[in-house]
């Protein structure tokens, strides 16, 4: 599974560091060659002796040891993958800002291998906007993030912030190495986020879509070797630079870009919340308030999914989404058929953990034959894995 893979495990100062011993054991059992680096204060949380014994390699902590310089460059070049687990709030912020005041950060900054992090911190620290910005930043540098778990935290509070369990980190790594290139040579286009339909130069009609599901899908496809183009409405998240981004505002602009990009695409995944209606004659000047009621005439937008469903050739796949509040299955199957999609991913707004802006989702996928694939509530990153696996299988 991980036989012969060279894994560099970075451990930072967090209570979850005690789980790193289990992770080293699991990695060794799976056949990996493991080297460990710790930040100096991690010594307060777990003994280097434990980790050197389990990894069967010396643990690296200091950049200078008895007047000798430790070669951090070679460690980052030795590894097939660097895993930082747990990643503390402090080290995350240093990674986001290029600070290099210890051995682990020097190795991270000079690493030529992919880097994946498993953050761990208390709920309020996790939810703080600076932490979320730092996560977005390191993701935009091309690092992978293993989502935190919800549960009891060191403070006694219950919420998001727990480091993923070592077993799940191992699973992530196995998935990464085993599937890594199954979309190589494929071009995938993904729509994401809301559209904005202008009323006048300062107002528009839009919706609550955050684009998070589309971003998770784009990153999963990228990880698996695809050439990815995202056609997205206004969203605030930072997106990996390796993804080509076409920014649009209106449903009409999204339609035009999709038609253009689909011509040489293999897969189209339409996760955007596209406006079904647009303002028929938006005002060129700002509409002034008056005593009368304001009536806006809306006209229908073009259905992108339907159009791509009509256009697709036998070696192109089209995947749509259906966000429903009632008669979920019926409506999803209707959309699958009427839009000639190969798959429909159903989200029901009645399910817990489903909704705009949330980090979780619960989906059911239907394939062309109507076969149903139900999934549990998961992080949007995990949902993206389920969707891509289902399409590929
Ligand atoms: N979609 C699209 N173009 C549109 C409207 C929707 O490509 N103009 C796509 C969405 O991206 C999604 C799927 O169609 O993949 C279903 O969108 P949804 O809003 O759930 O359904 P609609 O077809 O718009 O029908 P309704 O809003 O009545 O449920």
Give the full edge-to-edge strand order of the sheet including 33-38: 59-60, 33-38, 6-11, 81-87, 115-119, 144-145
**Both tokens of residue 140?**
């935009």
CA angle 21, 60, 141 (to 5 degrees): 85
Helix (H, G, I), strand (E, B) or coil at 229: strand
- Among the residue ranges 252-256, 281-285, 358-362, 365-369, the one predicted with the least confidence is 358-362
Tens digit of pLDDT for each residue in 69-108? 667 778 888 999 999 999 999 999 999 999 999 999 999 9
Instruction: Determine the topology of domain 6-178 in CATH.
Output: Rossmann fold (3.40.50)
Helix (H, G, I), strand (E, B) or coil at 205: strand
Q: Which is the closest atom of ligand 1 to the Cα of 272?
A: 11
% of the chain exceeding 90 in pLDDT: 73
Token pair 């900054």 is found at 109
Ligand 1 atom at shortest distance from the alpha carbon of 345: 15
Q: How far is the CA of 12 from the centre of ligand 1 (A)?
A: 45
Is 341 close to ligand 1, i.e. is its CB under 6 Å away? no
The answer to whether the CB of 189 is under 6 A from ligand 1 is: no
CA distance 98 to 354: 35
Which residue is it, tokens 């990464």? 176
In this structure, the residue with its CA closest to atom 6 of ligand 1 is 274
> What is the number of residues in the chain?
393
* % of residues, the chain, pLDDT over 70: 97
Query: Which residue's alpha carbon is at the smallest distance from atom 21 of ligand 1?
Result: 322
Q: Delimit the domains of the chain by residue range.
A: 6-178, 187-392
Could you give the angle at the alpha carbon of 265 between the alpha carbons of 390 and 338, nearest 5°? Answer: 65
Q: 98: number of CA atoms within 13 Å, CB side?
A: 1
Q: For residue 52, give the nearest of 40, 42, 37, 62 by alpha carbon.
A: 37
Centroid of ligand 1 to alpha carbon of 281 (angstroms):
22
C-alpha to C-alpha distance for 183 and 176, rounded to whole angstroms:
13
pLDDT at res. 68: 65
DSSP strand pairing (244-247 vs 115-119): unpaired
Comparing CA positions, the residue from 84, 81, 79, 74 lying closest to residue 23 is: 84
Give the nearest ligand 1 atom to 276 CA: 8
CA distance 375 to 360: 12
Q: Give residue 152's pLDDT.
A: 82
- Using the mean position of ligand 1's atoms as its centre, give its distance from the Cα of residue 392 in Å: 23
DSSP class of residue 79? Answer: -
In the predicted structure, residue 42 carries a pLDDT above the cut 90: yes
Q: Model-level pTM?
A: 0.66
Any atom of ligand 1 within 6 Å of the Cβ of 303:
yes
How far does CA 225 lie from the centroid of its chain? 15
Determine if ligand 1 sits within 6 Å of the CB of residue 335: yes
So which residues are the catalytic ones? 207
Q: Does an H or E element contain 34, and which? A: strand 33-38
pLDDT tens per residue, range 330-346: 999 999 999 999 999 99
Do the two domains 6-178 and 187-392 of this chain adopt the same fold? Answer: yes
Instruction: Indicate if ligand 1 lies below 6 Å from the C-beta of 319.
Output: no
CA distances in angstroms from 25 to 29, 32, 181, 231, listed in the order given: 6, 10, 27, 43
Kindly state which CATH superfamily the domain 187-392 is placed in: CoaB-like (3.40.50.10300)
Whether the CB of 301 sits within 6 Å of ligand 1: yes
Q: What are residue 152's phi and psi, to 5 degrees?
A: -75, 135
pLDDT of residue 128: 94
In this structure, the residue with its CA closest to atom 14 of ligand 1 is 305
C-alpha span between 309 and 303 (Å, rounded) = 10
Predicted confidence at residue 4, as pLDDT, reads 92
Distance (angstroms) between ligand 1 centre and the Cα of 274 equals 6
270 lines ligand 1 (CB under 6 A): yes
* Closest ligand 1 atom, residue 322 Cα: 20
């Amino acid at each position: 599974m991980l036989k012969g893979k060279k894994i560099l495990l970075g451990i930072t100062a967090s209570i979850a560091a005690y789980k790193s011993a289990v992770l080293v054991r699991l990695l060794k059992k799976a056949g990996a060659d493991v080297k460990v680096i710790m930040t100096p204060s991690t010594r307060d949380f777990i003994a280097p002796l434990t980790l050197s014994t389990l990894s069967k390699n010396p643990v690296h902590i200091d950049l200078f040891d008895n007047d000798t310089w430790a070669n951090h460059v070679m460690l980052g070049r030795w590894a097939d993958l660097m895993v930082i687990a747990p990643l503390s709030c402090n080290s995350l912020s240093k990674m986001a800002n290029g600070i290099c005041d210890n051995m682990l950060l020097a190795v991270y900054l000079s690493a030529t291998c992919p880097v994946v992090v498993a953050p761990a911190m208390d709920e309020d620290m996790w939810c703080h906007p600076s932490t979320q910005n730092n996560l977005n930043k390191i993701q935009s540098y091309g690092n992978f993030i293993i989502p935190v778990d919800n549960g009891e935290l060191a403070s006694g509070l219950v919420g998001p912030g727990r480091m993923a369990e070592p077993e799940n980190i191992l699973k992530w790594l196995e998935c990464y190495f085993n599937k890594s290139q199954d979309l190589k040579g494929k071009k995938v286009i993904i729509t994401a986020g809301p559209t904005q339909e202008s009323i006048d130069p300062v107002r528009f009609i839009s919706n609550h879509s955050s684009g998070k599901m589309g971003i998770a899908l784009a990153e999963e496809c990228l990880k698996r070797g695809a050439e990815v183009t995202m056609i997205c409405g206004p969203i605030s998240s930072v997106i990996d630079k390796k993804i080509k981004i076409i920014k649009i505002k209106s449903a009409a602009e999204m339609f035009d870009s999709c038609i253009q990009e689909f011509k040489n695409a293999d897969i189209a995944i339409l996760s955007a919340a596209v406006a079904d209606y647009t303002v028929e004659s938006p005002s060129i000047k700002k509409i002034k308030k008056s005593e009368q009621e304001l009536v806006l005439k809306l006209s229908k937008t073009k259905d992108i999914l339907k159009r791509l469903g009509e256009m697709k050739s036998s070696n192109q796949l089209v995947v749509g989404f259906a966000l429903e509040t009632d008669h979920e299955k019926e409506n999803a199957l209707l959309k699958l058929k009427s839009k000639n999609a190969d798959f429909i991913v159903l989200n029901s707004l009645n399910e817990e953990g489903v909704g705009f802006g949330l980090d979780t989702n619960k989906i059911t996928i239907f394939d062309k034959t109507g076969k149903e694939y139900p999934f549990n509530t998961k992080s949007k990153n995990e949902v993206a894995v389920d969707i891509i696996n289902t399409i590929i299988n």
